[in-house]
Structure formats: C-alpha cells, structure tokens
Structure 1
Amino acid sequence: MIGTLYFLALLVSTLAWGHVGVWSELATRNGTGDGVRCTCDAFLPSSTFPIRDLIVVEETAGEISHRLELEIGKLEEYTLKMTAYAERIVTLTAKVEIMEKNSDDYSDADLEEIKVEIKQVEALIQELQLSIKSSTDVFESLRVQITAMVTTLDKLEKTYDKNLVLATRREYTEIQLKLEECEKRHQELFNPNIGSCAHSGITKLGKPIVSQFNAHLSAGYKYGGWGKDSKPIPDRESMYWYSGYTTSSIHDIRFYTNYKNLILRTPFLHQTLVTGWAGTGNNFIVRENCLYYQINSPFGLAKLNLTSVKYQSRVIAGASSSFSYSNSPNQNFDFSADETGLYVTFAKDETRGKMVIARINEESFGIEEEWITSLYKPGVSNAFMVCGVLYAVKTVDIHTEEIFYMYDTKTKKEYYVSVPFERFQDKYSNLDYNPTDQKLYMYNNGYYVSYHLWFNQTAPTTKQSPIAPNSQNITGNVM
C-alpha cells in the first residue's frame, strides 16, 4: 500500500513538474533533538499539459483509495478481536471471584499470580486498541487527502496554474511525511516483537502487498529478487536492494537508500558482478552489506563484500546441481537469514534429492553444521528460515501457496502444518524472510510483493522450540 502511494507521488510529480530530481532526507540537529526535512528538486515544463498522464494518475488514485479502504477494514477487524479478548478477561475475572469465595481450595500465591496476569493482559489490550485507533485515523486521513489531491490535479488540467503546481508539491511533501509516520505505526501494530523468537511458529500471512513493477519496468524480467539487508550495517537500516533478469542469472544488483528511492527507481549503487563471478538461480540475499548467491564455476556458494568489493567462493562436498524448486530453475542453493544466523539449503545425490539445511559461519564463509530433512526438494516451490526453523512452501493452485512443512534445527524434528496464503500472480522466483521487520519478500512475476507474518505468541518467554500448534510430528530424529 505505502509503496503504491509513493509510486503515485512519482507519477504526479512527473505529471505536474515535468522532471523530478532525487528525493533526499536532510537530518538536522538542534538543542531539542533530531529533525528530518524532505526536499525534492523540480523543474516546471514548458510543454503543453500531459493529459494522458493525468488519466493514468486518476486511475491509480482510484486503486489506492480502494486499497486504503481494505487496510482500514483490516484494522477494524483487529479492533473487534481485541474487544473479544477483553470480554474473555471479564469472564476470567469472574472466575477469580469464585476462587476468592472458595479460598480454601487455592493458595494466596495462586490468586495473586492470576490477578497480575489479568492486569498485564488488560494493559496490553488497551495499548493495542489505542495503536489500532491511531493507525485507523491516519489511514482515513490519507484517503481524504488523496481524494483532494485528485481534485487539485483536475484543476491543473484545466488551468495549468503554476501556483497550483507549487501548492500541490507542498501537499505531497506533507503527505510523504505522514506516510512515513503511517508506515511506522503500521509496523508497530503488525510486528510488536521484532527480533523475538518467543513464539511457537507462523499462524498466518497477510494479503500480498504489491509495491510496483520491477526497476526495469519490463514484463520480461520475471526472474530476480528484492528485499532488505537482514543484518544492516550502521546507516544502512533503511536500504533496499533489487536484482532482476530475463533468465535465472545474476549479473548485477541495485541498492536504494530507502523505500521511496526503490519505488522512484533511483539507486545509490549499481554493482555489476565482474567477469567470472556472475551467478545463477534466484536465491540471493544481502546480509551485513554482503551479497550471497550461487555460482556455477565452480559450482558452489559465492560471497561479495560490497564494502571491500572482495569476492569469495566455497564448494560444498556432495551438493547436487540436479535438484531445484518446482517453479524456479537453477535454484540449487537457497540462502536464508533469520534471527539466529545465515543458512543455505540444497540437496545431495546421496540423499536422493532430500533437502539439507546448513548453517554458514559468516566470518569464515564455511559450513558449521548440517541437518538432513525428509523433504524432497523438487516437490517444494520455495523455503525460508525463521528462528532456526525451516518453513517449506508448496503450490496449492494458481492463486494459493501453502506453508506445509517445518523442520526445527534445535530439536531435529519435522512437522506437517497448513498455513495457506495468496499469491499476487501465478509464477514467483524468490521468497525470503527478513528478521529486521518480520516480513516475507517475494519476487512475483516481475513485481515487488511482501507479506506481513503473524506468530503464535502463546509461547513462554523462556527459549523453546517454535513448534506450530496442531501440527503433526512426522518424524523424530532424522539425522
């Protein structure tokens, strides 16, 4: 949603001003704290008003209004759920009163423990309700502003008044700031426990959030990936990356300072892989400013340190080039990063295509430990790691994927589960989890797509294996 809004800003900027310079954020310090000022260089056109572009903008604005209404509906749904939880607390409080009347059956410690738990949950619910209400107000405000924005553009078509153009520019600057605040609040609502593994697994995925078409704006770039650094270095926390091609090859990668510049297609770095280090497959990730990807000569793992521009390669004994995912060619090695570290999955001929999980030592670029699963890799459409647990995905139909399998590297046990989710379009080539925002990033038929994840937060605060509720243990120790 936010990405589409920035895309609208780009289109309107082009429409109203003819040419738009690079967006920038200027951080200023003073005695009261830090501030952020956003600027944009623009040049007024001397040509006639581009009416065709105006029609595109109006259509896009209509789509955004519809998507905003959907997002507001989701937040209202959460409000209803929180109300239901509050009612359960009231019921639990009534039970406590009964316990107090039969105090001989319970110790004082039992009563006090339950009372404290109730108060903590009540406080949490109240806090979430306030957050949801605040986010809902922001989304509604943005919807109204976008409607007014379309009206302003309609006037521009008739009058082409430069003063109105400048007024629209100021309005967009204000909207941009509010969008950033909206994204922050939205993030807090959906991901209150970033970095925590105190949960028992994924319970569901949100609707696909489509940011835009690939940076090449070409339907032929069906292969590739995008996302964020899973362990960003200082001052690169907001950085995004993208790499795409017409085949399952890796020749270059683009980096953007933030989400706006990703959507505006203005990279600050375009890194081309040197001769002899081109890769293949759609399995690459960026971690701690290093690109990890598959290389074919020799067949193995490759690492490019983007700070020092130093290349490394590693060969894994027994790894096979015969087994890839069901809908993505040459994806023999698949890199994943989560809260616990860096991993790569692959298959071996000696295991007859069963998927192997390997933890990578990031400093030495060597393999620390391996786990052999019972999962046949060609029967899987993709996989990713969360909190040391492998989640495997398969295709259900042309619109639906399903997380159907889990392997816990801590307990060495595997499970069948069922967590369906919706695809934006039929084919996708890359699916990766990022622990910095607890989102899934998918490169879906040339589009940037992402998903919010929900976890079962009923696990105790002590560390334990994140096993999904109601899952079926299919095997014990498989090593």
Structure 2
Amino acid sequence: MVPILLLLLSPALAWIPVEDWESGNVTASVGDAGQCLCHVYLPETSFPADRVQHMQQVSKDLILEVEIQMNKMTSYEGMLEVYLKDLLDLTVRVAMLESSPDNYIKLDFELLRIELREFEALVSQLKGSLNSSSPLFDSLYTEIRNMTLIVNQLETYDKSNLEVIRIEFAKLQKKLEECQKEQEIIKPDIGNCNHTGILSISKPTVVQLNAHLAASYQYGGWGKDSKPVRGYESMYFYGAYSSANVYDFYLYTNYEKLILRSAFKQHDIPNGWVGTGNNYIVHGNTIYYQKNSPFSMSKLNLTSSRYDYRVIPAASEKFSYSYSASQNMDFSADENGLWVLYASEGNKGKIVVAKIDEKSFGVEEEWNTGAFKQLAGNAFMACGVMYATRSVDLNTEEIYYAFDTKTNQEKHLSISFPKFQEKYTNLHYNPTDQKLYMYNSGYYVSYSVRFNKQ
C-alpha cells in the first residue's frame, strides 16, 4: 500500500521561510487509517498580519473609489440628458430666429449667445470629468459651434434695423416707467381686510410663455402658494396641457427658477387621480384640483405625495365658465382660508360659494350667489368676497359681480382691466402679495389688486 502524504496547509504557509522547513518545524506521523500525516508548526512571527491589514484597507479604498466613480457616471448621465433637452430647446429657438430674424432685437441674440457659451463650458466640464473623447461630445461641440455661427450671422441681418430697435427700446422703457409708477400707487397691505372691496386692477404684467415653450398649451395655471409652509415662501407652481386635463405639476424654488424653467420637482398624476378643468391652486403646500372619476374635489400633498378626494353631491358637471369646458370646480384662497366655487342645479346654474375645512377636507358652509356661472369668465375670492368676471371685448375683462359671505349681500360692479389675450383658463387671487394670477393663452400674466380703504 502506497502511503498518501497529506499536508495540512494554512493560508500563511506560503510565507514560511525555507530554513524553517529544515529546522525541525516539520514532523511526520502515521494516522489511524495508515495514512502518512505531515505536521507543520508555524512560528508566531511568520504570519504578516500588518501586511494583510494593509491589503484589506487598500481593498476597501478601491471598492469605495469604484462606488464613487459609478455614482459620478450615473450623475453625469442625468446631467447629459438635461443638457441634451435644453440644447434641443435652444435649437428650436435658433430655428425660429433663422426663419424671421427681423422680428428679434439684439438682446435676443446676446441671450442666445450667453446660453451657448454656458453649454460649451458645461460640455467641456463633463468631458473632462469623464476623461472621454466620445463621438457624442464631439457632436455636441459641433452643434453648439454651428448654432453660434447661425446666431452671429442672423445678428448681422438685424443691424440694418438698429433704428427700429432703438425705438422699441424707448417704448419698452416708457412702459416700464409707467408700470413702476403704477406699482408705487398700488401698495399692498398684506393680510388687511379693513376695506370696502376691490377698487381697481393694475395693468397686466406679462411674464413669459409657459415652461414648455408651447403656445398650444392653452389650458393650465400658475402662481404661488397662498399659505406657504416655512422654507417655501418663494415657491411657484405651474401646470398646463393642450386640453382641459390635469396630468402633472411643476414646482420652482423661486421666481428666477420659474423664468429659467428649472423645476426642482415634478408631480405626474397617476391613473385614477387624473384631473380635468384648470382652476387649481396651491394652498398650505397642497395642490387642490378637480378630479375626473368620481367627479370630486381632490388634493395632492406636495411633501408626502399623498392624494385624497371628497365628493360634493350638490356640485354639477353641467355648468362651466365661458372660456373653457370642464371648469366645474374652481378652487380659491384668500385671507379667510380655502374655498371652492361651483354651480348646482338646485341654484339653477348659479355659482355656489363653499368654505372648505382644511383638516377634514369637507365643506363647512355654503352660500348661493346670483351669478350665472356660464356667463362668467372666471371667479375668485378676496377677503371673504366672491368676485366674478366677464368679457367686455377682445382686449378687456371686467369684474361685474361681487358677493360678500359676511353680509350675504351682492353688488353689481364694473371694474375693467386689460387682457393680454382674449381667453384665459385660470384666474385666482393670492393673499400673500395681493395679486391676481392669470394663465392667459399659454402665458404667465399677473395683476396687482387695489382695495378701497376709505
């Protein structure tokens, strides 16, 4: 029988010096089954524990570095998607300039040039961070350079109209001066309802086209939180679509971010909670809007993303404002709290004012008014008074009716104010700045409200 030699090895065996094998540290014996066993006795100082510990630390550092680089790649991928989307928007704007350069002023070209330089710097930074020479980056560079050349070329066409541009700037400066004087006259007294009602409405401030840069997005709304939570006092919201539906909302940290179309959060309305109509507002960090099925008032908490709804049995789907279909429930907020306006068959199609209890999300009290909803362009609440509007002509709107929930008295008024476009789908009052916010044919428009304090 040939004996089998078994070596009982440990991971540290490779570190044993040759001289230790020859100095009696290795002994042999015969086992119970007749096999030959080889015993190796390792000296305590032969195992390099400090080396192993160092290797373990190096391994951990390498794993951490790999994770950091992977996170960077994920971040860069998201950044690249944003850059590509914004670059596409720029491409559309350059195409518009190219199709009609005479309609644009020097400032338009300079703004485009600045944005292009920013894009070039961002792409350079991204390329350097990734240490990449990908064809994707090369194509981005090429497109940015081409767009810059087009802008420069278009600007030369525009120089022939410098005199026209100077005249337009003079007109603009005059309008700004008039607006500044008007703002000095209308000084808001936030939170004070010690007055007899609205005295006048300022001229409109047309901010810009909506964040989608789509004039076809005729249905929507924008504005500020009427009861902001701490830290969100400057937040703005926006939502719009090409039909009278509610699919998503965008939130912006402040006015500057709204202008730059840089939302910090987007809420996509899930199936089962899709809304209709466009008279929604943000109040107490919660969006209130009209739900499709069942027909009800609905709310979305912007922090928890939690949805809830309440059916109002008396509310009818048959009566909407004159400018848009499906505007059956109109949410409003003022110095006295949260309201919802709707028409009922019991009130023969006239507007009903309902006070909402924010905690229970139910109706506290109701008032029947004398304003037919289908004749009104829109309505809003201010200091417990409902004001209804209607069209005077293509360029003029007026507040023609008021109902005071404190006294149950109604008034017929004629407070006219200009419109930017004929039709609008959202008009609401905000007590934090005493302004009206209007979504007017795809544009953000606002007005200052002046109250009669005599």
**Matches of 1:74 and 1:307, distance apart in 2:** 37
Name which of 434, 445, 450 aligns with 1:438.
434
The structure-2 alpha-carbon separation of the partners of 1:358 and 1:62, relative to structure 1 and needing over 3 Å to count, comes to: farther
Amino acid at match of 2:410: E
The structure-2 alpha-carbon separation of the partners of 1:228 and 1:416, relative to structure 1 and needing over 3 Å to count, comes to: same
Where 2:112 maps in the other structure, the secondary structure is helix
Q: Which has the higher contact order (CA 8 A, sep 6+)?
A: 1
Deviation of 1:399 (Å): 1.0
Higher CA-based Rg: 2
Name which of 249, 273, 277 aligns with 1:277.
273
**Matches of 1:439 and 1:284, distance apart in 2:** 16
Counterparts of 1:215-294 in structure 2 under 5 Å? 215-294=211-290
Counterparts of 1:10-21 in structure 2 under 5 Å? 12-20=110-118
RMSD of equivalent CA atoms: 2.6
**Matches of 1:189 and 1:276, distance apart in 2:** 48
The structure-2 alpha-carbon separation of the partners of 1:349 and 1:211, relative to structure 1 and needing over 3 Å to count, comes to: same
Amino acid at match of 2:383: C
Counterparts of 1:67-78 in structure 2 under 5 Å? 67-75=172-180
Counterparts of 1:10-159 in structure 2 under 5 Å? 12-20=110-118, 46=145, 48-49=148-149, 50-51=151-152, 54=155, 55=158, 63=168, 65-75=170-180
**Matches of 1:370 and 1:400, distance apart in 2:** 31
Deviation of 1:68 (Å): 3.0
TM-score (norm 1): 0.63
Query: How far does the alpha carbon of each residue in 1:90-122 deviate from its partner, in whole angstroms, 9 at most, with x for none?
Result: xxxxxxxxxxxxxxxxxxxxxxxxxxxxxxxxx
Deviation of 1:216 (Å): 1.1
Alpha-carbon contact 1:210-1:447 (below 8 Å) kept: yes
**Matches of 1:245 and 1:321, distance apart in 2:** 21
Query: How far does the alpha carbon of each residue in 1:391-421 deviate from its partner, in whole angstroms, 9 at most, with x for none?
Result: 0001111111110100000001111111011
Partner of 2:193: 197
Query: How far does the alpha carbon of each residue in 1:252-310 deviate from its partner, in whole angstroms, 9 at most, with x for none?
Result: 01111111111111111111111110100011001111010001211110000011110
The structure-2 alpha-carbon separation of the partners of 1:224 and 1:410, relative to structure 1 and needing over 3 Å to count, comes to: same
Query: How far does the alpha carbon of each residue in 1:367-410 deviate from its partner, in whole angstroms, 9 at most, with x for none?
Result: 11100112111111100000000000011111111101000000
The structure-2 alpha-carbon separation of the partners of 1:209 and 1:63, relative to structure 1 and needing over 3 Å to count, comes to: farther
The structure-2 alpha-carbon separation of the partners of 1:281 and 1:375, relative to structure 1 and needing over 3 Å to count, comes to: same
Amino acid at match of 2:280: F
Where 1:18 maps in the other structure, the secondary structure is helix
Question: Gaps (5+ residues) in structure 2?
Answer: 1-105, 120-140
Deviation of 1:65 (Å): 4.8
Deviation of 1:73 (Å): 3.2
Partner of 2:359: 363
Q: Quick one: percent identity of the two aligned structures?
A: 49
The structure-2 alpha-carbon separation of the partners of 1:17 and 1:303, relative to structure 1 and needing over 3 Å to count, comes to: closer
Alpha-carbon contact 2:207-2:444 (below 8 Å) kept: yes
Alpha-carbon contact 1:15-1:53 (below 8 Å) kept: no
Where 2:228 maps in the other structure, the secondary structure is coil
Partner of 1:87: none
**Matches of 2:353 and 2:177, distance apart in 1:** 40
Partner of 1:404: 400
Partner of 2:340: 344
Amino acid at match of 2:178: G
The structure-2 alpha-carbon separation of the partners of 1:399 and 1:358, relative to structure 1 and needing over 3 Å to count, comes to: same
Comparing 302-311 with 49-58, greater Cα deviation is found at 49-58
**Matches of 2:312 and 2:360, distance apart in 1:** 14
Deviation of 1:75 (Å): 4.8
Deviation of 1:342 (Å): 0.4
The structure-2 alpha-carbon separation of the partners of 1:434 and 1:61, relative to structure 1 and needing over 3 Å to count, comes to: farther
The structure-2 alpha-carbon separation of the partners of 1:51 and 1:289, relative to structure 1 and needing over 3 Å to count, comes to: same
Amino acid at match of 1:288: G
**Matches of 1:390 and 1:214, distance apart in 2:** 28
Query: How far does the alpha carbon of each residue in 1:419-469 deviate from its partner, in whole angstroms, 9 at most, with x for none?
Result: 0111001111111111111111111111111111111121xxxxxxxxxxx
**Matches of 2:154 and 2:189, distance apart in 1:** 42
Alignment size in residue pairs: 322
The structure-2 alpha-carbon separation of the partners of 1:371 and 1:297, relative to structure 1 and needing over 3 Å to count, comes to: same
Deviation of 1:235 (Å): 1.4
**Matches of 1:75 and 1:300, distance apart in 2:** 42
Alpha-carbon contact 2:188-2:434 (below 8 Å) kept: no
Alpha-carbon contact 1:10-1:264 (below 8 Å) kept: no
Where 1:283 maps in the other structure, the secondary structure is coil
Amino acid at match of 2:379: A
Alpha-carbon contact 1:289-1:306 (below 8 Å) kept: yes
